[in-house]
Structure 1
Amino acid sequence: MAGIYFHETLDPVRTPGAHTRYLAELGEIVSTTGNAEGSAGAECIAAWVPVFLNGDWPRMVTFWEMPGGWDGFADHFEQRKELFHGPLERWYGERSGGFDRVLVGSPFTPSRAQLLAADQRAAVVLQEIIDLKSGGAEDYLALLAEMKEEIDGTCRFSLLGSYETAFRHGSEVMLLWAFPDMRTLARLQAQPAEFTAFLRWQQQARRHELGHRALIMRPTDWSPLR
């Protein structure tokens, strides 16, 4: 069964300390109760902060797995009929808005439990959001599946997960790549020929892509995956 995931891009209010307070409170919740009331019952995989000079800022990204897949997703929202969940009011002091995605993991994407059991590390994460023609997600992810093993085995970084965005008619995919440090990511950009398997993947992938947005992120100190 494919995993279902919840991806949040959060915008803190533009006041000193707001993003720090928000992340501190969220970290306390994740560390003690697992998740906040109304958060679709999801279990936190990671909390990231984008590296500045690399997109909109300040910004925060959180990533969750929904227990029970689509059945769990349906059960949660059938049981909660309110238009706005309770914790929303309390978060207004630290965040001004955000953007959510529901993601479906590819067959070769590890679950949260598998990532933590394997002691997966991701000191730096490259997030890629790819626009495709309608229905193109399945073929795009199948192509990645063919090349993933070689990339993971020969490059100094690896694929953390690959996902189709739900409710988009197969027109959007998200990829997460785990890097051991910023120097490795910079080397990939400066000397791509050193990473031949990944270079071949990029050459193949570009034939399918209609748009591409990348974001470099680092984990919070309390992030389950870091």
Structure 2
Amino acid sequence: MNTVGSEGSVNDKLYIHEFIDIIGHNRANYMYHMTANWSPIAQEERHQLCYGVWGIVGSTRNWPSTVNIWEEDGFDGMAESFRHEVGRPGLQDPNLEKWWARAADFRSGGYDRLLVPAPWTRTIEQLCADKVRGEAYAHEIITTPPGGILGLLDRIAEEGEPLLNEFGWVLAGAWETAMVGDSEAILVWAIPTWEQWSEAEKAERADTKFGRWRRTFQSGLTSFQRFLMADSELNPMRLGRQPSRTDRRADWQEEPGPRRSA
């Protein structure tokens, strides 16, 4: 498979995937607030890394909205993070009240899920080290009857990824959604240029090797959806690193307070 970042490495992380509904013209404000103002806190308090924050291309899905993906230290790390967040009367970390209050000016709600990575999919540190990024990103949601996702991600990596590599597409993330009976998978592809997105879309609809494979592959699915995304200003794959406090503007400072030890 072409997706393994380091020889012999296995991805044992867990991921939080978020669809966020944006209020009015605040998408850029929200993405900045998430990356510069929240991500450094998350790294320290929860050992949580920012995998990516993207704006959804509105012509391909509901708008204005974003996708956020966070990398956790497996289910055990997620359990500790849940305890840290909701093990309080208000179900919220009091150190983050100012951050949450500001975020509420930019977003109206969202929809989250937990994602289990394919063992061979790369962590965000590996993706940054490999300099994976795109002018565009394709986000795919695949559903099957319960139990149908088992083995599907390996099939995509073995059969579908080499075909899309011919158009420059790189499989940046491949996950199974947890707690839905092995019935949903999510993929993120990094696409170097918009022209390479266009060429693959045309090939998928034509009598090509890729088009024929895609039609055979999709025949066993319950649903398939692809939409497009673009990097936020401080997206890790764009920066080649995690966002940090040095990326912050002077108009926001977090409340001082005790932090969970590393």
TM-score (norm 1): 0.86
Distance 1:210 1:159 in 2: 22
Q: Which residue of 2 aligns with 1:56?
A: 62
Contact 1:155 1:195 in 2 (8 A): no
* Correspondence for 2:126 among 95, 100, 114: 114
Amino acid at match of 1:163: W
Offset, 1:104: 0.5
Q: Which residue of 1 aligns with 2:36?
A: 28
Q: Given the superposition, is the C-alpha separation of residues 211 and 34 from structure 1 closer, same or farther in structure 2, using an over 3 Å criterion?
A: same
Offset, 1:134: 0.1
Contact 1:154 1:195 in 2 (8 A): no
Q: Which residue of 2 aligns with 1:71?
A: 76
Contact 1:188 1:194 in 2 (8 A): no
Amino acid at match of 2:126: Q
Offset, 1:209: 0.9
Quote the sequence identity (%).
Answer: 29
Structure 2 stretches lacking a partner, 5+ long: 1-10, 239-262
Q: Over alpha carbons, which structure has the higher Rg? A: 2
* Correspondence for 1:104 among 97, 116, 137: 116
Structure 1 stretches lacking a partner, 5+ long: none
Q: Which residue of 1 aligns with 2:13?
A: 3
CA-based RMSD: 2.4
Verify: 1:171 aligned to 2:183, yes or no. Answer: yes
Amino acid at match of 1:51: V
Give the total of aligned pairs: 220
Q: Deviations over 1:20-39 (max 9, x none)?
A: 222222232267x253898x
Q: Deviations over 1:154-201 (max 9, x none)?
A: 3321211210011111011101111111111112222335963x4354
Runs of 4+ in 1 over 4 A off after TM superposition: none
Contact 2:167 2:196 in 1 (8 A): no
Contact 1:8 1:62 in 2 (8 A): yes
Amino acid at match of 1:7: H
TM-score (norm 2): 0.75
